[in-house]
């Protein structure tokens, strides 16, 4: 049985991306492989110009 964590993200809001990051970091800290699949607005949130912009 595959013991990896798979996350499918489709929302690009900061609160949902942060929650996914916490889940992924927790699984990685336990030694589990983590696969993150980005769709729609989540993919747009990781574009270079969006990452460097002010989110506050």
Q: What is the pLDDT of residues 12-55, one digit of tens each?
A: 998 999 999 999 999 999 999 999 999 999 999 888 787 777 76
pLDDT of 33: 97
Helices vs strands, H then E, count in the chain: 3, 2
Structural tokens at position 30: 């336990």
Q: Say whether pTM exceeds 0.75.
A: yes
* Interatomic CA distance for residues 35 and 56, integer angstroms: 28
């Amino acid at each position: 049985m595959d013991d990896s964590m798979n996350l499918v993200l489709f929302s690009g809001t900061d609160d949902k991306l942060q929650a996914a990051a916490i889940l992924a970091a927790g699984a990685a800290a336990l030694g589990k492989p983590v696969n993150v699949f980005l769709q729609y607005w989540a993919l747009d949130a990781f574009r270079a110009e969006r990452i460097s912009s002010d989110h506050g």
